[in-house]
């Protein structure tokens, strides 16, 4: 079956978990979008009240349009969360951030006791970094320093993520830029090491998080 059909199957599967009163962390990306649609349908059909904690303005808008009440980590702690991923390795480590929302996604994931990662089979890799670069959110003032430090860590190619419908770089919801970095090998301590570089706000490495992989 196609990736789209797999994503729809996984989205419908996660919607079955929703129960009255749930506070749910809602991830970004196309699979999470399908899940929100399936959840919106279910809560209307079964007259269930839930609250979403969105991980981007786009997700917040989508929830509102679909009639899913939203709140924030300032007000509520999620009971559980779902999100997508770009890569999943055999130890359930992830690369995320194609959508550029990994800062809020990591906050929600760390705040949730249960995290479900919705993936089609194209996301599974043997080693992180096989298919995707590691997205790293950086304060614009630190780009040169960070690039130098990442190269020292074995970064092979550091690309500033450019916008497609405006001139210049992508600007994140925190006002930062994103560097996409290829690494030949990603060690288990990379996520922590990267966070020590001044100017780095977040990376798309999710290593050792208690996640449950939801797939077809």
The smaller minimum CB distance to ligand DER, of residues 7 and 149, is found at 7
Active site residue 173: no
Residues 206 and 96: their CA atoms lie apart, in Å, by 7
Query: End-to-end distance of the chain based on CA atoms, in angstroms?
Result: 10
Rounded to the nearest whole angstrom, what is the least distance from the CB of residue 53 to ligand DER in the complex? 15
The smaller minimum CB distance to ligand DER, of residues 50 and 104, is found at 104
Which among 105, 137, 149, 202 is annotated as catalytic? 105
Binding site for ligand DER (CB under 6 A): 27-31, 83-86, 96-99, 101-102, 105
Do 151 and 158 meet the contact criterion of CB atoms below 8 Å apart? Answer: yes
**Phi/psi of residue 8, nearest 5 degrees:** -65, -40
Give the single-character DSSP code of 121. Answer: G
Rounded to the nearest whole angstrom, what is the least distance from the CB of residue 117 to ligand DER in the complex? 8
Do 36 and 27 meet the contact criterion of CB atoms below 8 Å apart? Answer: no
Rounded to the nearest whole angstrom, what is the least distance from the CB of residue 88 to ligand DER in the complex? 10
Active site residues: 105
């Amino acid at each position: 079956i196609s990736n789209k059909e797999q994503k729809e199957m996984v989205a419908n599967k996660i919607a079955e978990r929703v129960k009255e009163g749930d506070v749910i962390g809602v991830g970004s990306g196309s699979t999470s979008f399908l899940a929100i649609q399936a959840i919106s349908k279910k809560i209307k059909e079964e007259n269930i009240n839930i609250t979403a904690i969105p991980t981007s303005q786009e997700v917040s808008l989508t929830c509102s349009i679909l009639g899913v009440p939203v709140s924030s980590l300032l007000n509520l702690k999620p009971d559980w969360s779902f999100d997508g991923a770009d890569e999943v390795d055999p130890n359930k480590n992830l690369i995320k951030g194609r959508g550029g929302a990994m800062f809020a996604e990591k906050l929600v994931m760390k705040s949730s006791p249960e995290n479900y990662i919705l993936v089609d089979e194209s996301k599974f890799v043997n080693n992180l970094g096989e298919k995707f670069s590691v997205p790293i959110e950086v304060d614009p003032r630190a780009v040169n320093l960070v690039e130098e430090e990442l190269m020292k860590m074995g970064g092979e190619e550091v690309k500033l993520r450019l916008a497609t419908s405006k001139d210049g770089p992508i600007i994140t919801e925190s006002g930062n830029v994103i560097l996409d970095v290829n690494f030949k090998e990603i060690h288990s301590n990379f996520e922590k090491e990267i966070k020590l570089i001044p100017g780095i706000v977040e990376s798309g490495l999710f290593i050792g998080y208690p996640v449950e992989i939801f797939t077809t």
